[in-house]
Amino acid sequence: MMIKRQSKEWPDARGYFGRFGGQFIPEVLRPALNELHHAYLMFKDDPQFQSELLAELSDYAGRPTPLYFARNLTSHYGRAKIYLKREDLAHTGAHKINNTIGQILLAKRMGKKRIIAETGAGQHGVATATVAAKYGLQCCIYMGEEDMARQQPNVMRMKMLGAEVRAVHTGTKTLKDATNEALRDWLTNVKTTHYIIGSVVGPHPFPMMVRDFQSIIGKEVLEQIRSKQISLPDYLVACVGGGSNAMGLFYPFLPYENVKLIGVEAEGLGLSSGQHAASLTAGRPGIFHGMLTYLLQDENGQIRLPYSISAGLDYPGVGAEHSFLMESKRASYHSVTDRQALWAAYVLTRLEGIIPALESAHALAYLEELMPRTTEQQTVVVNLSGRGDKDMDTYIRHLNDFEQVLKTIRIGNTL
Amino acid sequence: MSQRLRQRIGQSIRSGKKLLSLFVTAGFPDPELTVDIILACDKAGVDFIELGMPFSDPIADGPVIQKASDIALQKGMTINRILNMVKTVRNQSSIPIILMGYVNPVFQTGFEPFFARCAEAGVDGLILPDWPPEESTRFTDLLNQYDLDLIHLIAPNTPLERIKQIDQHSKAFVYCTAYTGVTGKDSHTSNGIESFLSTLREHLNNPFLVGFGIKSAEDFNYYSGFSAGCIVGSAFIKTIENIRQQEIDEKVKEFVHRIRYGPETG
C-alpha cells in the first residue's frame, strides 16, 4: 500500500485546527489556561513526566489494551477482518482513564488541590474520581440529574471513590449543563482547582492535550496491527460524542491518508425527528464551551437540546478537530439511531461474548453499512471505547424487542 | 453612536459623580416591559444600560441571570427583537445602551451584519465575555467604523501585563469584576481586592467600573471609591422579577435610590 503523509501540525499557536477551535472564554479563565498550556508544553517532552505517565498507563490502567480479532463478527459479515480495540478492558472500563491519568499528573505538578469534572455517562466521572482517590486530591463531579438516573452504577462508584457528585438541575439536566456548571465552578475556584475536561472539547489547550493523552490508543493499534502482519488497517471506526476516543484512535493515523477514518454520531430517534446528537452530520459551525465547532443550534444561535439513548454521546457540540477533519475531508462522519446501536450491542454480545457500552455500540452499528463495501483482504478496526455494565438497565429493558431476531442471527450466519 | 457613552462617562468623571449602570435581560420579565424598564432607568438617573441578550448557556452567569435568560428565551427573545427594542427606546431617550451577551448568537447573525444593525438601532457598545481580545481585535476597525465600543472584562486574577494589554484594546471603559466567579454572588468575599483596585487605578488609562455582586449602597460606595462607578445586575433582576407595568417607574426609582444612597431615606 502506498503511504501518503501530510505534514501540517494542528492546532496552530492560537489553538486553531483550520478555522475551528480557539479560546472563546471569559477573561477570568485566561490565567488558568495559560498556566495549563505552559505546564503541558513543559511536561509533554519531559522524560520524567513521560516515564511516570507510561508506568501508570501500563501498571495502573492495564495498557496496552488488546487488539482483538473478532472472528465471529467477521464471519457474520463475511467481508473484511474486524478487529476490536479493547478500551473496555482498561481500568474503570473505558478509554477515559488515559486522559484523567495524564491530567492529574499535570494538576499535581501545577500544585492544584482540587479536581472538578463534568460527566455524561459517568465514565469520565469515574475515571476522574479514580485518579483523584489515587493521588489524594479533593474531587467534585458535575452530572445532570437525568444522567444520574440512567447511569446509577457509575454514580455509586464515584461516591465510593470519595468524590462529591453534584446533581445539575438546569437545562436538559445532561452533559451540556453539567459542563456549564463545571465551567462556572472553575471560574469561581480557578486558583485552587484544575478542571479535567473529559473530551477533546473546550478552549485550547484542552482539545490538543486530551487528544495527545488519548492518542496512546492509536499508537498501540499501529504497533499491534503490524504484529499481526497487516501493514495498515483500511478503516478505523469510532463513536463520536465529544470525540475523544475517536480522536485518540485517529490521530496517529492522520499521516496515513489511505487509512479511512470514520466517526459515528448518535442519531437518536432519527435526524428528521430532531431528537438526536449528531452535531457534525446535522449541525453547523458556532461558538460554544470555549471553541468554534459544529453545533446543534436553532436559527438564532441558541444551543439545541441534544438527545441520545447513550448518555456519553448526548452533547450538542463536538471536538473542534473533528470539525476540521470533516471539512478537510480527512475523516467522514455518519450517524446511527438508538435502535441500530442497541441491535449492534446485542449482536456483539451474542457473537463475541462482549457487552459493549452503548456509546461504543454506535461505532459497531455502522458496520452494517460499512462491511458490505469491504473486501476479505481488508481490515477494519473498531474502537470498543467502553464496557456496557453501566447500560445494563437499558439493555435489559429493550432485550425483548430483539430476542427473536437475535436467535436467527447466531444460528444462521455464524456457526 | 458610542460618543454618547464616552460623553456620559466623561461628564460624570469631571463632575465627580459616580456612574451607576443597570443590567437588564431583554425580554425579562416580559418583552412588553423591557422598553419601559429602560426608560424608567433613564428617568431615575441611571447613567447607562446593559441590555442582556439572553443565551441558552450563559456560563459566566449565576442562577438569577440564568433564570432571567431562560424566561426571556421562552418568551421568544431574539437579536431582532432586542434591536427593535433599542430603536423604540431611541425615539424617546438618549441613554447609552450596551448590549451584553454571548458570542454565538452574534456569530450566527454574522459579525458585520450584527454591527451594522446595532449601529442603525442606536446601540453604543458591546460586552461579549466569551469574545476575548485574541478573537476580537481583528474586528477593531469594523467596530470603529460602526462606532461601537467593545468593552472588555478583567478579573482580580488578571495579571498586570494582561491588564495593560486589555486597556489598550478597550474603549469607553474597562469592566472589572469584583471577584473571580459568576454574576450575582456576594462581592465581599474577595481577598486582596483593595490592592487590586488600587493597581487598576494606577495603571489603567481608561476609566473602569466594577460589577458582579453589587447589591447595596454599601457595595456601591465601596467600589466607587476606587473606580468611576458600578454596574448592578442580579440585584436589579430580582427587583423586577414580578414587576407590573404600572409600578415600573416607582420600583426602578426606589431601586436606584437604594443603590446610590441606601434604603428608607429621604
CATH of the domain at B236: 3.20.20.70
A26 vs B78, B129, B159: nearest CB: B129
SS (H, E, C) B37-74: HHHHHHHCCCCEEEEECCCCCCCCCCHHHHHHHHHHHH
Task: Work out how many domains chain B is built from and give that number.
Answer: 1
Q: Say which residues have a Cβ less than 8 Å from residue B44's Cβ, sequence separation at least 6.
A: B249, B252, B253, B255, B256, B257
Which of A14, A28, A180 faces B134 most closely, judged by CB atoms? A14
A1 has pLDDT over 60:
no
Q: Give the separation between CA B64 and CA B142, rounded to whole angstroms.
A: 34
Cβ-contact B201, B223 below 8 angstroms: no
Contact between chains at B57 and A28 (C-beta distance less than 8 A) = no
A31, A288, A299: residue with CB nearest B104 = A288
pLDDT above 80: residue A310: yes
pLDDT score of A8 more than 80: no
Identity of the amino acid at B155: A
- Residues in B touching A290 (Cβ below 8 Å): 130
Inter-residue contact B62 to B177 (CB < 8 Å) = no
Residue B185 lies in a domain: yes
Whether B88 is covered by a domain: the verdict is: yes
Cα distance from N-terminal residue to C-terminal residue, chain A: 33
Question: Once rounded to an integer, what is the mean pLDDT over residues A349-368?
Answer: 97
% residues pLDDT > 70 (chain A): 97
Here the cell at position A374 is: 469491504
The predicted-structure confidence for B105-129, as pLDDT tens digits, reads as follows: 999 999 999 999 999 999 999 999 9
B159·A191 Cβ contact <8 A: no
pLDDT at A415 over 70: no
Distance from CA of A274 to the nearest CA of B (A): 18
B42 pLDDT exceeds 90?
A: yes
Distance from CA of A233 to the nearest CA of B (A): 39
Q: Distance between CA atoms of B207 and B9, rounded to whole angstroms?
A: 8
Mean pLDDT of the residues in chain B? 95
Q: Average the pLDDT over A162-178 and give the result.
A: 92
Residue B266: per-residue pLDDT: 47
The pTM of the full predicted model, rounded to 2 decimals, is 0.96
The whole-number pLDDT of residue A73 equals 97
Asked if residue B187 belongs to a domain, the reply is yes
CA distance from start to end of chain B: 36
Q: How far does B246 lie from chain A, in Å, by closest CA?
A: 32
Biggest CA–CA distance in chain B, Å, is 50
- Tens digit of pLDDT for each residue in B162-174? 999 999 999 999 9
Cell of A149: 438516573
Q: What is the pLDDT of residue A404?
A: 83
**In terms of residue numbers, what domain contains B126?**
3-261
Q: Which of A100, A157, A89 is nearest to A128 (CA)?
A: A100
Pairing of strands A284-288, A291-295: antiparallel
Mean pLDDT value across residues B233-260? 97
Instruction: Answer yes or no: is B171 within a domain.
Output: yes
- What CA–CA distance (Å, rounded) separates A162 from A181? 20
| Interface check A176 vs B, CB under 8 A | yes
Touching A: B residues 208-237, CB under 8 Å:
none
Can A265 be counted among the known catalytic residues?
Answer: no
Enter the DSSP assignment of A206: H
Which alpha helices (H) appear in B79-216, and where do they start and end? 79-90, 103-109, 111-121, 133-136, 140-145, 160-169, 193-203
Which whole number is the average pLDDT over B133-149? 96
B266 domain-assigned: no
Helix (H, G, I), strand (E, B) or coil at B190: coil
Inter-chain CB proximity B181 and A28 less than 8 Å? yes
Give CA–CA dist A238/A215, Å, rounded.
13
Q: Which of A293, A296, A301 is nearest to A319 (CA)?
A: A293
Q: Which bin fits A337, alpha (ψ -120 to 50), beta or left (φ > 0)?
A: beta
Neighbours of A266 (CB within 10 A): 29
3-state secondary structure at position A364: helix
Dist. CA A286–CA A302, nearest whole Å: 10
Distance CA A141, CA A161 (A): 11
Is the pLDDT at A409 greater than 90? The verdict is no
Check residue A28 and give its pLDDT: 94
- List the single range of A255-259, A403-407, B216-220 with lowest mean pLDDT: A403-407
Burial A38-66 (b: 16+ CB within 10 A, else e): ebbeebbeeeebeebbeebbeeebebbbe
Share of chain A above pLDDT 90, in %: 89
Distance CA A176, CA B57 (A): 9
Told to judge if A231 belongs to the known catalytic residues of this protein, a careful annotator would answer no
Residue among B107, B153, B159 whose CB faces A26 most closely: B153
In a domain, B256, yes or no: yes
Interchain contact, B154 vs A300, CB within 8 Å: no
| pLDDT tens readout for residues A69-116 | 999 999 999 999 999 999 999 999 999 999 999 999 999 999 999 999
Residue B2 — pLDDT band, cuts 50, 70, 90?
low
Q: Cα(A239)–Cα(A333) distance, rounded to whole angstroms? A: 9
Task: Answer whether the bond into residue B54 is a cis peptide, omega within 30°.
Answer: no
The answer to whether A180 contacts chain B (CB < 8 Å) is: yes
Model confidence pLDDT, tens digit, residues A364-394: 999 999 999 999 999 999 999 999 999 999 9
Q: What are phi and psi of B199, to 5 degrees?
A: -60, -45
| Cross-chain Cβ contact A170/B134 below 8 Å | no
What 3-state class would DSSP assign to B114?
helix
Per-residue DSSP letter, B23: E
Residue B114 lies in a domain: yes
> What does the pLDDT average to over A297-305?
96
Can you tell me the distance from the alpha carbon of A122 to that of A175, in angstroms, rounded to the nearest whole number?
Answer: 10
Alpha-carbon torsion, ordered A298, A20, A216, A194, to 10 deg: -80
Cα(A21)–Cα(A13) distance, integer angstroms:
11
pLDDT of B27 higher than 50: yes
Q: Identify the burial level of B48 via C-beta atoms within 10 angstroms of its C-beta, where 0-12 means exposed, 13-18 middle and 19 or more buried.
A: buried
State residue B265's pLDDT score: 53
The per-residue pLDDT for range B147-190, each reduced to its tens digit, is 999 999 999 999 999 999 999 999 999 999 999 999 998 876 56
Smallest CA-to-CA distance from A320 within A240, A221, A266 is with: A240
Residue A296 at interface with chain B, using a CB cutoff of 8 Å: no
Centre a 10 Å sphere on the Cβ of residue B164 and count the other Cβ atoms it contains. Answer: 12
Q: Cell for A185?
A: 465552578
A4: its cell numbers: 501518503
Catalytic residue among A56, A81, A87, A118: A118
Q: Say which of A28, A31, A303 has its CB closest to residue B57.
A: A303
Q: Which of A279, A318, A283 is nearest to A299 (CA)?
A: A283
C-alpha cell at A171: 437545562
> Quick one: pLDDT at residue A172?
79
Cell matching residue A142:
458535575
Asked if the Cβ–Cβ distance from B180 to A30 is below 8 Å, we say: no
Set B42, B47, B61, B219: catalytic member: B61
Scored b (16 or more CB within 10 A) or e, A376-394 reads eebbbbbbbbbbbebbeeb
Confidence check: pLDDT of A333 > 70: yes
Are B89 and B99 spatial neighbours (Cβ–Cβ below 8 Å)? no
The CA-based angle B234-A147-A293, given to 5 degrees, is: 70
Q: Which of A98, A335, A108, A306 is nearest to A199 (CA)?
A: A98
Question: What is the C-alpha to C-alpha distance for residues A127 and A398, in angstroms, rounded to an integer?
Answer: 28
> For position A6, what pLDDT does the model report?
52
Q: Which residues on neighbouring strands pair with residue A208, listed in sequence order?
A: none
Reply yes or no on whether the pLDDT at A5 is more than 80. no
Give which of A12, A20, A25, A27 to mutate to test B binding, by max B Cβ within 10 Å: A27
Half-sphere CA count of A79, side-chain side, radius 13 A = 15
